[in-house]
Amino acid sequence: MKMFLVLLGCCLSLATAAQQLPVLCYHNITTPGQHQNDLLHIDSRQFELQLKTLADSGYHTILPDEMVALLQQHKPFPARAFMITFDDSHDGHYSIAAPLLQRYHFKGVFFVMTVTVNKPHYLSVAQIKALSENGHAVESHTWDHPRPDGYHDWDKELLLPRQQLEKITGRPVRYIAYPFGAYNDSIIRQVKLAGYKAAFQLNRQPAEGKELYTLRRMLVDGRWSGTQLLRKISRYVTP
């Protein structure tokens, strides 16, 4: 009974910690007037406003290695720590987002789908390499962003993208973001077999017993002011 309670306590500690770190998710970073701000688009002025509010409020970024290590050790996150992530490999992540991150001394996590590498309006090999060399994390977003029932070739979707990104950056790729934030038990099993240490979904609570492979991210609305963003993430923050 005592051992059961210890194991239960560890599981609860991991689940609680997984819920405390705000992990922000962005998609399209645009120039002003290029697209209306919404759940999938944010222009550079609004994006900088959000970053400035976070920086002025004492927030600082951590990357997945630190997050996962703290979860595994059942240790709390640093006060006002958060993670900022980018999906779908848009070239604005390099040309617009990365310089603004640097301005506010933040590091980001760029989840790259490799089918788009070197294609117009998407990240190039050189840009991916530069992001990694500048201290950002480059991680996997599968090969071509399949829906949960579209993983017909596991090696193509999970293993080969990891290997390709590792070849580009010269660094391990240990993490993956599920396309559409969607997953099931079969996908989790294959993600583990492909060598990933953890995986990120969207908006839902981490699944009990599978916390490291269902880490929660919050989709950021491009219409939110900095103050609204602070209110949204405050529920996750370690005091």
Per-residue pLDDT of the chain (239 residues; tens, 9 = 90+): 443 333 334 444 454 444 579 999 999 999 999 999 999 999 999 999 999 999 999 999 999 999 999 999 999 999 999 999 999 999 999 999 999 999 999 999 999 999 999 999 999 999 999 999 999 999 999 999 999 999 999 999 999 999 999 999 999 999 999 999 999 999 999 999 999 999 999 988 899 999 999 999 999 999 999 999 999 998 765 44
**3-state DSSP assignment of residue 149:** helix
Q: Are 29 and 21 in contact (CB under 8 A)?
A: no
Q: Which CATH architecture has domain 17-236?
A: Alpha-Beta Barrel (3.20)
User: So what's the pLDDT on residue 2?
Assistant: 41
Q: Are 197 and 68 in contact (CB under 8 A)?
A: yes
CB neighbourhood size of 83 (10 A) = 24
Beta bridge partners of 138: 110
**3-state DSSP assignment of residue 219:** strand
Residue 66's H or E segment, with its range, is helix 64-72
Q: What's the CA gap between 182 and 200, in Å, rounded?
A: 9
CA of 229: how far to CAs of 38, 135, 173, 220, in Å?
Answer: 14, 25, 29, 8
As a whole number of angstroms, the longest Cα–Cα distance in the chain is: 62
Domain ranges in the chain?
17-236
